[in-house]
């Protein structure tokens, strides 16, 4: 085995490396890479994971004693663009440890073992600790994941594994049980908006060469759907489109040039973004006066997604969502699909749409067709699994089911009526025969005495008091005669007749 550094600069391709091996983006790196946070205070979102004293913060920040009471293995689970790679970089850079990155798409067991052996050698010779970042760890096979176990148990490396899949199903139990699982959430609109504005102004990003119009910014935020990487990728493409369309200044004349050679050369060479200030072609030297506006059309061209008149923070957003829900409730399947299409075309987060469908299934279809809720939940899970654009088909199937299903809000009205009584103080004591009788001394208190086991009663219905004394006779659920609920209504009538009978055993 070679004794030198097994992972030199070529590990990261065109990127350069910092002192600990962390890739330092070059001038040609994508905007999302150049704008990767260099400190905790630049991280957007994930406040629930970065509170003072949290395991992740302890892993990133050295404590006052210089030690580190932090987990040795972390699994970061969350959707794309939520900061998993960023947090891995910060763990390495903030702690001064060496950083090695492997992708589960291309790495094998041999690569893992090579990294681990090199980390052990460094520790044995007094070298720095190693942070091993494995992206898309769910793509590792069982044997590849098993190869990580000794290094995690012995803390030869600090393992940071990232996945977009549920670790309960995609990560081996032995590795999962030895790791701290942290769940990252999609970024909020305000977080994405702040990232976009920082990228526009920051010298690492666009350096003030462009300015976003309000419409363009809102459309970009909506398209991102909580994905920071997507937001910055779209911004970079839109900025490039706007800069390429910027007017080309008139050439500098000889008289204008006289006496200013030094200044002109200095102006051209002091800024690495000189080409971006040109007319879009590399090598053009005329500077565009002032920031170039990036308007809605630039963003639309960059991603080929028209900005349907649908403002997520304004009336149009709520109007379309309201019309969507009311169309399903009103059984107009064509209108329901129309409003679904408007939300999809506007770049609405499909998970938001799926949540509205699940709510509508329970609130508006209810027990008239209980399978509607199953369809809605399955659609929400499928959209999470397959994403867009195929997710539109899943959403459409669920919408058609709900719009054409019989309707009932009886369960919705029932729980609200019960909640109203409870909030009004109409709770009362649990009847003694229904109380827990499993702990010592319960029977002496009369708990459980006289309880009738329903399965031993005729029809599986035991006639006894279930509601508190103050609520006996209350009726919360009133079924309709629509769909499956007609059968529920018939059976419920017979059940209530039995429950109303006097119980001779009490």
- Structure tokens belonging to residue 128: 């720095």
> Angle formed by the axes of helices 371-386 and 350-360, to 10°?
170
Q: Is residue 3 situated within a structural domain?
A: no
Q: Digits of tens for pLDDT over the chain (506 positions)?
A: 333 333 333 333 333 334 455 556 666 789 988 998 888 888 888 888 888 888 888 888 754 444 455 677 899 998 888 889 888 888 888 777 888 988 888 888 888 889 999 999 999 988 888 889 999 899 898 888 988 999 998 889 989 999 988 888 889 899 999 999 999 988 989 999 999 999 999 999 999 999 999 989 988 888 888 889 989 999 998 998 888 877 755 454 444 444 444 444 444 333 434 344 433 333 333 454 679 999 988 888 887 655 555 554 445 677 889 999 999 999 999 999 999 999 888 778 899 899 999 999 999 999 999 999 999 999 999 998 888 889 999 999 999 999 999 999 999 999 999 999 999 888 888 888 888 877 777 677 778 788 888 998 888 998 889 999 889 989 999 999 999 999 999 999 999 998 888 544 44
Q: Cis (ω within 30 of 0) for the bond into 389? A: yes
Asked whether residue 439 falls in the same domain as residue 491, the answer is: yes
Asked whether residue 31 falls in the same domain as residue 171, the answer is: yes
Relative to beta strand 158-163, strand 180-183 is unpaired
CA distances (Å), 493 to each of 145, 214, 368, 462, 486, in order? 57, 59, 17, 15, 11
Asked whether residue 33 falls in the same domain as residue 114, the answer is: yes
CATH code of the domain covering residue 133: 3.40.50.300
Nearest of 363, 360, 397, 362 to residue 378 by alpha carbon: 397
Asked whether residue 171 falls in the same domain as residue 294, the answer is: no
Largest Cα–Cα separation, the chain:
114
Residues 6+ apart with CB under 8 A from 128: 20, 96, 97, 98, 122
| 277/246 Cα distance (integer angstroms) | 9
Angle at the Cα of 464 (from 463 to 470), degrees rounded to 5?
135
What DSSP line would sit under 60-110, residue for residue?
A: HS--TTS-----SEEEEE--TTSSHHHHHHHHHHHHT-EEEEEETTT--HH
Asked whether residue 54 falls in the same domain as residue 176, the answer is: yes
Strand partners, 75: 161, 181
> Which residue among 183, 216, 234 closes a domain?
183
- Structure tokens belonging to residue 420: 């109203």
Q: Which domain holds residue 20?
A: 9-183
> Angle formed by the axes of helices 214-224 and 296-303, to 10°?
30
| 157/150 Cα distance (integer angstroms) | 10
Q: Cis (ω within 30 of 0) for the bond into 421? A: no
Asked whether residue 144 falls in the same domain as residue 163, the answer is: yes
Distance between alpha carbon 130 and the CA centroid of its chain, in Å? 28
Asked whether residue 455 falls in the same domain as residue 355, the answer is: no
CATH code of the domain covering residue 443: 1.10.3710.10
3-state secondary structure of 269: helix
H or E element that contains 265: helix 261-269
Q: Is residue 258 situated within a structural domain?
A: no
What DSSP line would sit under 320-371, residue for residue?
A: HHHHHHHHHHTT-HHHHHHHHHHHHHTT--HHHHHHHHHHHIIIIIGGGSTH
Distance between alpha carbon 109 and the CA centroid of its chain, in Å? 30
Asked whether residue 169 falls in the same domain as residue 86, the answer is: yes
Q: Is residue 354 situated within a structural domain?
A: yes
> Which residue among 183, 211, 236 closes a domain?
183
Asked whether residue 116 falls in the same domain as residue 225, the answer is: no
Contact 411, 429 (CB under 8 A): no
Q: Is residue 259 situated within a structural domain?
A: no
CATH code of the domain covering residue 214: 1.10.8.60
Asked whether residue 487 falls in the same domain as residue 377, the answer is: no
Asked whether residue 207 falls in the same domain as residue 345, the answer is: no
Contact 157, 121 (CB under 8 A): no
Q: Please give the radius of gyration of the chain, using alpha carbons only, rounded to the nearest integer.
A: 31
Residues 6+ apart with CB under 8 A from 152: 72, 73, 159, 175, 178, 179
Q: Is residue 173 situated within a structural domain?
A: yes
3-state secondary structure of 293: strand
Asked whether residue 370 falls in the same domain as residue 493, the answer is: no
CATH code of the domain covering residue 370: 1.20.272.10
- Total count of domains within the chain: 4
Strand partners, 54: none
Question: What pTM value is reported for the model?
Answer: 0.55
Q: Is residue 239 situated within a structural domain?
A: yes
> Which residue among 142, 162, 183 closes a domain?
183
| 22/224 Cα distance (integer angstroms) | 27
Q: Is residue 412 situated within a structural domain?
A: no
Q: Is residue 349 situated within a structural domain?
A: yes
């Amino acid at each position: 085995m070679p004794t030198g550094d097994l992972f030199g600069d070529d590990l990261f391709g065109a990127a350069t490396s910092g002192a600990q091996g962390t890739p330092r983006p070059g001038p040609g790196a994508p905007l999302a890479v150049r704008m990767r946070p260099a400190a905790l205070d630049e991280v957007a979102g994930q406040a629930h994971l970065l509170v003072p004293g949290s395991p992740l913060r302890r892993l990133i920040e050295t404590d006052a004693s210089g030690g580190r009471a932090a987990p040795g293995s972390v699994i970061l689970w969350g959707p794309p663009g939520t900061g998993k790679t960023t947090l891995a970089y910060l763990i390495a850079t903030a702690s001064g440890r060496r950083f090695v990155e492997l992708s589960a798409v291309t790495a094998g067991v041999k690569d893992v073992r090579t990294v681990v052996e090199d980390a052990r050698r460094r520790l044995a010779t007094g070298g720095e600790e190693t942070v091993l970042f494995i992206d898309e760890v769910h793509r590792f096979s069982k044997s590849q994941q098993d190869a990580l176990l000794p290094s995690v148990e012995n803390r030869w490396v600090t393992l940071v594994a990232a996945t977009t899949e549920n670790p309960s199903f995609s990560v081996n139990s032995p590795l999962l049980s030895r790791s701290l699982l942290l769940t990252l959430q999609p970024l909020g609109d305000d977080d994405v908006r702040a990232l976009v504005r920082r990228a526009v102004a920051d010298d690492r990003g666009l350096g003030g060469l462009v300015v976003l119009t309000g419409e363009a910014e809102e459309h970009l935020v909506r398209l991102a759907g909580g994905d920071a990487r997507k937001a910055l990728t779209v911004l970079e493409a839109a900025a490039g489109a706007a800069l390429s369309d910027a007017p080309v200044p008139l050439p500098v004349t000889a008289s204008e040039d006289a006496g200013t050679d030094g200044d002109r050369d200095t102006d051209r060479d002091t800024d690495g973004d000189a080409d971006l200030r040109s007319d879009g072609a590399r090598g053009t030297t005329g500077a565009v006066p002032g920031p170039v506006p990036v308007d809605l059309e630039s963003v639309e061209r960059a991603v080929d997604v028209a900005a349907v008149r649908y403002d997520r923070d304004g009336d149009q957003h709520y109007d379309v969502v309201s019309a969507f829900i009311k169309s399903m409730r009103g059984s107009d399947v064509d209108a329901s699909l129309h409003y679904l299409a408007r939300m999809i075309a506007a770049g609405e987060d499909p998970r938001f749409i799926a949540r509205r469908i699940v709510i509508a299934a329970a609130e508006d279809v209810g027990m008239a067709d209980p399978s509607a809720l199953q369809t809605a939940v399955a659609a929400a899970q499928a959209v999470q699994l397959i994403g867009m654009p195929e997710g539109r088909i899943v959403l459409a199937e669920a919408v058609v089911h709900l719009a054409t299903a019989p309707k009932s809000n009886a369960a919705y009205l029932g729980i609200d009526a019960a909640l109203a009584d409870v909030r009004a103080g109409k709770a009362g004591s649990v009847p003694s025969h229904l109380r827990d009788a499993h702990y010592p001394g319960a029977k002496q208190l009369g708990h459980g005495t006289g309880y009738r086991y329903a399965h031993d009663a005729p029809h599986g219905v035991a006639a006894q008091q279930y509601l508190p004394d103050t609520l006996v006779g209350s009726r919360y659920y009133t079924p309709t005669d629509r769909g499956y609920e007609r059968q529920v209504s018939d059976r419920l009538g017979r059940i209530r007749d039995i429950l109303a009978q006097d119980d001779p055993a009490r």
